[in-house]
Structure 1
Amino acid sequence: MRGITAMMNVLSVLVQPKDMLLLEKNKEPAKEQNCTTPHLFCYPAQSNFSGTKYPLSWIRKIKARELCPVRIPGKWFVLLDAAAFVSTSPLDLTVHTADFVAISFYKIFGFPTGLGALLVNNEIAPFLRKIYFGGGTAAAYLAGEDFYSPRQSIAERFEDGTVSFLDIIALKHGFDALERLTGGMENIKQHTFALAHYTYTVLSTLKYTNGAPVVHIYSDTDFSNPDVQGPIINFNVLDENGDIIGYSQVDKMASLYNIHVRTGCFCNTGACQQHLGISNEDIKRNLQAGHMCGDDIDIIDGRPTGSVRISFGYMSTFEDAQNFLKFIIATQLSKADMKFPSQPTPTKTVTESEESPMQNDQTSCHNADVLSMKTIIADTGPWNNSSAMLKTTRWQPPETELERTRAAVFERAVPVHSSSNKPISVTNICLYPIKSCSAFEVTQWPVGNQGLLYDRNWMLVNQNGVCITQKQEPRLCLIHPSIDLKQKIMVIKAEGMDPIAIPLEENLEKERQICQSKVCAHRVQTYDCGERIADWFSEFLGRQCHLIRQSSDFKGNATQKHVKGQAPSATLSLSLVNEAQYLLINTASILYLKEQIIARLEEPLETEQLIQRFRANIVINTMEPFEEEEWAEISIGALHFQVVGPCNRCQIICIDQKSGERNKEFLQSLSNARGRKTHFGIYLMNQSSCSSSSYILSVGSPVFPMLKESTKIQCPPSNEEKASG
């Protein structure tokens, strides 16, 4: 609105709720004046951020000049944003005579999506002027002359084009059902507030064993009066030390319990800034750091970028409120939280003068007591800098210093050795030709310009062209694609189905069906692999679907990913992956996590099965768990990779890749082991000057990492040291 008023040279003034409440308390009516210049006061009946309800009495007082938001002479009109308010509260327009009222039917019924209305007082309609007109709004107009006459009805004049008449028809059924099921909006108001009051009361009293609160609730009221508080609770979850757990982590854990929460700032930056203490400069810095509305970057420099919101509607039940509280208790206050220490944060390198708590056998590397004290990240040789410090692993903006030294570092990079002098190497290589289907494991494989050759070149979509993943269809893991480079075919197998083959060479025929699809909100150009293939997958999954392939003809329009440390113009092409070209995990990290999961499940777990759940392209083996998270770049043979960030895990790791069965304990165990985070593995982008199938990635290849914020490379032991060791 500020942009529109600025173009018309109309002044817009920000008014804080506290300023209005203070004006109302002081009761200073405006002086009588004859000025009739129109002014518009806009405010929400209920905050969609905190659920705070603002006085509807302001409408009458402002129009009667008993309350003046700004000391400017003129006639005041009121626009009331009632979208959040009317979803659970009655609004009598004969009492609260706002001039304009915005409402959302979607917020009331949950259907139809995106349908709302602007209610306009008939007495105000003549004041409204349009600067354009569209189909159906003109009584008459001329093509060759500047002549246009609007329709007389205010609705017909402002409803451009064809209205959503089928959705509008559904509204009567919605209101009838609402009345029949609930008895009216006043009952809904009391019901939803009772649920919110109960949840708030329990949530606000939850404490850790050290007395620290489990959540921080953002509210302007004490939830004692439904006239001033709606059924919305906004909060952030805290750990035992009072640090905020990012909203994206809470969202992922909630999904395991079939709970849907909203996260971020909820398109209400003002309330978000006020409650979270985010300044205007913070918003700008966060944008420079890469954070945008709607993403999952929830913590920057230790401070939250948003929060978590739950809300209750007329269909919500007491059991829903209890299930939410059980989720918070199970994930934050379970015995497992005390039984398993958080994954340690490296704080410094170990020098010769310090006695290492680690033993040289691999078993001791995963001892929880040892890990809670210190993590060794380097040899104890004399080349280490005893004063070197490593920062806590958090999401950070790009490091410009890294780019200046990268080329020089890789020329002299050598493997980082652990305390047992064992070099790091690649142990497994997997590609996933069909997105979300089973892995195809190889010992060596060509590298393409989008990652491993043919990795995630295909994916399954439903009848609406939406990607199908294991989140919706766990049985995808039972589909086994394999690639024969000599015969140039991909063979797909599944139990109870005859194998089917697809040529690797692209279908370049003109009649092929080109279609647009989405992968994580990014549009990609694909083509359909045909009805024969679609029938095979549809029969196995028991639902209609199609196999599509990314088209090489449209690589210029393919998903592009900016890489930290590179110039903004430098982008790398992706296949149908979510985030980056490669995903790397560490067997040492797997073994550490395995101990935590076994203790929770109290049943055996195969290491190989756990590795498969994390669906990595490259598996390595270091001596220290999570050592890979301290790397900025790595080199494997002639290939150079830049680490672009940690992999935030979702509920797919809860799916057994052999059977398709779900078990939410896996994501829960990861969250507990990582200090309420769900990071596991790192994303890589290929930084080699030339990416083509002439490059081969092989099992057994040595891995040469470079630590974050450091150009010092650890020297390997000499031959004499090897002999004496």
Structure 2
Amino acid sequence: MAGQPWGELLAFPAVCPAGYGYGYGGGGGGGLRRLREREFPRLRGITYLDHAGSALFPESLLKAFTDDLRDNVYSNPHSQNISSKLTYDTIEHVRYRILQHFHTTAEDYTIIFTSGCTAALKLVAEAFPWIPEGTKQPSSRFCYLTDSHTSVVGMRGITVSMNVLSVPVEPKEMLLSEKNRLPPEEQNCTTPHLFSYPAQSNFSGIKYPLSWIQDIKSGKLCPIKIPGKWFVLLDAASYVSTSPLDLRVHQADFVPVSFYKIFGFPTGLGALLVNNRIAPFLRKTYFGGGTAAAYLAGEDFYFPRKSIAERFEDGTVSFLDIIALKHGFDVLERLTGGMENIKQHTFALAHYTYTVLSTLKYANGAPVVHIYSDTDFSSPDVQGPIINFNMLDENGEVIGFSQVDKMASLYNIHVRTGCFCNTGACQMHLGISNEDIRRNLQAGHICGDDIDLVDGRPTGSVRISFGYMSTFEDAQTFLKFIIATRFSKSDTEVPFQSSVTKLTTESVRSPVRDDCPSCDNANTLAPRVHILDRDLWENSSAAMKTIDWQPPATASESIRAAVSETAVPTCRRGGKPITVTNIYLYPIKSCSAFEVAEWPVGNQGLLYDRNWMVVNQNGVCITQKQEPRLCLVNPSIDLKQNIMVIQAEGMDPISLPLEENTGKEAVICESKVCSHRVKTYDCGERIADWLSMFLGRSCRLIRQSSDIKNNRHQKNTKGLAPATSISLSLVNEAQYLLINVASILHLKDHISARLEEPLEIEELIRRFRANLVISAPESFEEEEWAEISIGSLRFQVVGPCSRCQIICIDQQSGEQNKEFLQSLSAARGRKTNFGVYLMNQPLHSSFPDILSVGSQVLPVLKENPEIQPPPSSEEKCSG
């Protein structure tokens, strides 16, 4: 609440009485802190609030499991040897343990192991004894609550193929379902119908009544008024992660679960608990290894095993993962005392967080967040430890979930954003119509991307969720993050407008280098390199190999014609043209910039730009997000000596040849780098040892191969030329990133005011890691361009660069300051766009094209719809 002391508001006991059961074993918060330190040391400095996505495994679970594997020999349970028998018996013991956990026995339920909850749902859809349309009997119906996971809704794909109708049922309709109660004579119909609903919504955390199970099966409740016998599928995946489920009382016919939701390990293992009354009626068409009692290879003869579990567990089960479950149950019980304690503990945290979050208001009385909830968080029997919300500004406008996620990452807070594989609940709570979904898809938004607002309306939200190891400190850290980002000087901040058409002449600052863009001054990141003559270029064999492209003549001509038709020199501000003021390349992805005065252009952009990258021991790219000290690694290219020299403080310089070698070849694909596989090779032990010593972690340097035939990191870009495929280096989104000095000046003033200390423009330029810096007169006018030309080169503007936390890293010291991304968000109207991506297709010439500082930039505005750039992905950053 505005004006209220934060310390008093955030005090845990004042908001959450001890009766809610925080902590375990009577030790209260102290005991829980010791548990965290002992079992989850990897969480130091991390606030993990995505337990609904996955629980985290404790150290003692891994130790107990690995000790078990060291002490015993487990082999394929389908064999008959001693180790096989041990495996089989252990698996049966785990089945018993699972039934015990859910307070039932083998007399009532059968455990069928699957790869997860989704596979269990698919199994039900395929095996249920449906009666299709068109038979003499009344046909079956598949009904599901609209507040269901995608995997439940996806069952209708199978039922449709079986000619069975699917009927979605909204939660509010269930409250009226008693009106659909069937008369006794219609309840005698034996046509089987299936109704599926979640025990707990993975969107809002509401717990739907478990009493529905018996009410539906008895005919007291009826999702739709149709004769037949109803069976119930209870999606328990979200519910059982933090709540006890008693199947003696609530005897659903099918209960799918995923065990990583409970223990965090193992992943890829789930189960379907099948009520034995329906089990004999399940149908099976496919049979795999281990499921057949007998079959003939030459005739259509197959006889299944008697056991329901063995009949449906095709192939060898994941027996080592199943054995890990035993230790999961043991450790969970030992650490917490059981699921009832977890239920009380996690709800205490959710109740506290909800209470404080719903209290926060701006000075004008407007709420800071809009919480999407079906309850008032008054009871753990109706509400799980999930809080779903969108952050609002002082005017009540939604701040996109992608923006909130980026801000949370600055505080090392792990949340989840989007629609959480629950489109039905997302539509219901956010007021998104079916037509909105279709329209958003046409606008480029798909599930799981970062397009958080379309026409100012949210496409998803933010979700936090607590787990059994969550603490009061986790909740408080999250709330302090909300307060820090929404109340720090917020009343005095006026966001800058992002559209150049709304900027007045008086508000525009003069660019730094109007007088002499190519002269030396303080705005320097590294010594500039000049290409002295073309002989040097011609003599560089490595360079010639990289610049071996053959653009289609028709494509080149189409670009030249399109640009020459509309591009005119932009001479504003006393006749001064737009010019290139700085050129930077980044030979090693996420390492320091290398500034040059002029540089050759290759088929992937600036020659040698992001041709190398640092990877960890698993071959996964390391960026400054994971290792800020990468910015202290300074590579430079010496074209004359044909080497790359790498320097870092306290280390002897090391050099690598520019020509490719025949070192160890590796094929990698890192999703944030490429959409296809990239051919790379390892640069050897010497540089790997050098980097590992400097960074203090095991890592290696790999280089992208210049074999364009096999290097498939390419981007199909509309507008450049028909069917043009642009080859990329190890960049994320495009060949070039361009920023404008005038835009930097706008942001500089804003950040300096928030920091209350002077800020050098050179530091900001370094943080934004651009390839090209230009001196356009108006801030952010580059966002209004469709194309630009620089000399003989033509570039298409393919979209804005949406910034991540890397701009918070000082590129000279490696120190981080959260204020930079927050200030950018405030300055850009809650977006983090800064700079634009460019793609080029060089034209034919006898010499390679050269980009030079001081060159004139000729823009083409977006006014011509035929050459407007396509929408670009917003998740990328310069790396």
Once the two structures are superposed, residues 121-167 of structure 1 have per-residue CA deviations (whole angstroms, 9 ceiling, x without a partner) of: 22222122222122333333343333333332222222233333333
In structure 2, what is the Cα distance between the partners aligned to 1:94 and 1:152?
25
Aligned match for 1:461, one of 615, 622, 625: 615
Q: What secondary structure does 2:589 align onto?
A: coil
Aligned to 1:144: 298
Residues 447 and 691, structure 1, Cα contact 8 Å, conserved in 2:
no
In structure 2, what is the Cα distance between the partners aligned to 1:72 and 1:555?
61
Distance 1:437 1:346, change over 3 A: closer
Aligned to 1:515: 667
Aligned to 2:497: 344
- Counterpart check, 1:17 vs 2:171: yes
Q: Percent identity?
A: 77
- Counterpart check, 1:50 vs 2:220: no
In structure 2, what is the Cα distance between the partners aligned to 1:201 and 1:691?
68
Residue type of the partner of 2:462? V
1:619 shift after superposition: 0.7
Aligned to 1:88: 242
Residue type of the partner of 1:28? R
Aligned to 2:6: none
Residue type of the partner of 1:340? E
Q: What secondary structure does 1:647 align onto?
A: strand
Residues 465 and 517, structure 1, Cα contact 8 Å, conserved in 2:
no
Aligned to 1:160: 314
Aligned to 2:383: 229
1:689 shift after superposition: 5.1
Q: What secondary structure does 1:12 align onto?
A: strand
Distance 1:299 1:687, change over 3 A: farther
1:281 shift after superposition: 2.4
Q: What secondary structure does 1:32 align onto?
A: helix
Residue type of the partner of 1:214? V
In structure 2, what is the Cα distance between the partners aligned to 1:693 and 1:80?
69
Aligned to 1:723: none
Query: Unmatched 5+ residue regions in structure 2?
Result: 1-154, 515-557, 868-879
Distance 1:224 1:693, change over 3 A: farther
Residue type of the partner of 2:650? G
Aligned to 1:676: 830
Distance 1:345 1:463, change over 3 A: closer
1:319 shift after superposition: 1.7
In structure 2, what is the Cα distance between the partners aligned to 1:466 and 1:692?
39
Aligned to 2:473: 319
After superposing the two structures, state which structure 1 stretch, 521-530 or 266-275, moved more: 521-530
Residue type of the partner of 2:852? S
In structure 2, what is the Cα distance between the partners aligned to 1:220 and 1:233?
11
Distance 1:136 1:418, change over 3 A: farther
In structure 2, what is the Cα distance between the partners aligned to 1:696 and 1:311?
53
After superposing the two structures, state which structure 1 stretch, 594-603 or 464-473, moved more: 594-603
Aligned to 2:791: 637
Aligned to 2:360: 206
Residues 559 and 721, structure 2, Cα contact 8 Å, conserved in 1:
no
1:565 shift after superposition: 4.5
After superposing the two structures, state which structure 1 stretch, 436-445 or 105-114, moved more: 105-114
Aligned to 1:3: 157
Q: What secondary structure does 2:851 align onto?
A: strand
After superposing the two structures, state which structure 1 stretch, 584-593 or 487-496, moved more: 487-496
Aligned to 1:390: none
After superposing the two structures, state which structure 1 stretch, 413-422 or 76-85, moved more: 413-422
| Superposition RMSD in Å | 2.7
Distance 1:430 1:600, change over 3 A: same
In structure 2, what is the Cα distance between the partners aligned to 1:560 and 1:679?
24
Q: What secondary structure does 1:514 align onto?
A: strand
- Counterpart check, 1:472 vs 2:626: yes
Residue type of the partner of 1:198? Y
Residue type of the partner of 1:67? L
- Counterpart check, 1:282 vs 2:282: no
Q: How many residue pairs align between the two structures?
A: 667
Distance 1:557 1:293, change over 3 A: farther
Residue type of the partner of 2:185? E
Aligned to 2:586: 432
Distance 1:23 1:692, change over 3 A: farther
In structure 2, what is the Cα distance between the partners aligned to 1:238 and 1:430?
38
In structure 1, what is the Cα distance between the partners aligned to 2:836 and 2:750?
21
Residues 192 and 231, structure 2, Cα contact 8 Å, conserved in 1:
yes
In structure 1, what is the Cα distance between the partners aligned to 2:436 and 2:842?
35
Residues 587 and 608, structure 2, Cα contact 8 Å, conserved in 1:
yes
In structure 2, what is the Cα distance between the partners aligned to 1:84 and 1:712?
49
In structure 1, what is the Cα distance between the partners aligned to 2:200 and 2:508?
60
Aligned match for 1:32, one of 185, 193, 199: 185
Aligned match for 1:577, one of 731, 741, 747: 731
Q: What secondary structure does 1:625 align onto?
A: coil
1:484 shift after superposition: 2.0
1:690 shift after superposition: 5.6
Query: Unmatched 5+ residue regions in structure 1?
Result: 366-403, 714-725
1:348 shift after superposition: 4.4
Distance 1:291 1:319, change over 3 A: same
Once the two structures are superposed, residues 307-365 of structure 1 have per-residue CA deviations (whole angstroms, 9 ceiling, x without a partner) of: 11111111112221111111111111211x23332012447479xxxx954588669x9
Q: What secondary structure does 2:428 align onto?
A: helix
Show the 5 A alignment for 1:71-220. 71-220=225-374
Residue type of the partner of 1:224? S
1:237 shift after superposition: 1.1
Once the two structures are superposed, residues 373-399 of structure 1 have per-residue CA deviations (whole angstroms, 9 ceiling, x without a partner) of: xxxxxxxxxxxxxxxxxxxxxxxxxxx
Distance 1:77 1:568, change over 3 A: farther
In structure 2, what is the Cα distance between the partners aligned to 1:267 and 1:445?
47
Aligned match for 1:292, one of 412, 425, 446: 446
1:243 shift after superposition: 1.8
1:462 shift after superposition: 1.2
In structure 2, what is the Cα distance between the partners aligned to 1:238 and 1:72?
45
Residues 525 and 554, structure 1, Cα contact 8 Å, conserved in 2:
no
Distance 1:584 1:72, change over 3 A: same
Residues 787 and 794, structure 2, Cα contact 8 Å, conserved in 1:
yes
In structure 1, what is the Cα distance between the partners aligned to 2:695 and 2:730?
21
In structure 1, what is the Cα distance between the partners aligned to 2:704 and 2:340?
53
Once the two structures are superposed, residues 171-190 of structure 1 have per-residue CA deviations (whole angstroms, 9 ceiling, x without a partner) of: 22222222222222122212
Q: What secondary structure does 2:737 align onto?
A: strand
Residue type of the partner of 2:370? H
Distance 1:252 1:28, change over 3 A: same
Distance 1:406 1:235, change over 3 A: farther
Distance 1:175 1:646, change over 3 A: same
Residue type of the partner of 2:694? F
1:584 shift after superposition: 0.8
Residue type of the partner of 2:458? P
Residues 447 and 692, structure 1, Cα contact 8 Å, conserved in 2:
no
Residues 141 and 148, structure 1, Cα contact 8 Å, conserved in 2:
yes
Aligned to 1:264: 418
1:612 shift after superposition: 0.8
In structure 1, what is the Cα distance between the partners aligned to 2:457 and 2:580?
36
After superposing the two structures, state which structure 1 stretch, 446-455 or 173-182, moved more: 173-182
Aligned to 1:368: none
Q: What secondary structure does 2:568 align onto?
A: coil
Residues 584 and 595, structure 2, Cα contact 8 Å, conserved in 1:
yes
1:575 shift after superposition: 1.3
In structure 1, what is the Cα distance between the partners aligned to 2:427 and 2:841?
38
Residues 562 and 568, structure 1, Cα contact 8 Å, conserved in 2:
no
Residue type of the partner of 1:516? I
Distance 1:458 1:147, change over 3 A: farther
Aligned to 1:653: 807
After superposing the two structures, state which structure 1 stretch, 462-471 or 203-212, moved more: 203-212
Once the two structures are superposed, residues 549-579 of structure 1 have per-residue CA deviations (whole angstroms, 9 ceiling, x without a partner) of: 2223365662333435568954422211111
| Superposition TM-score, scaled by structure 2 size | 0.72
Show the 5 A alignment for 1:541-620. 541-553=695-707, 555=709, 558-563=712-717, 565=719, 569-620=723-774
In structure 1, what is the Cα distance between the partners aligned to 2:689 and 2:296?
54
Residues 448 and 693, structure 1, Cα contact 8 Å, conserved in 2:
no
1:83 shift after superposition: 0.5
1:692 shift after superposition: 10
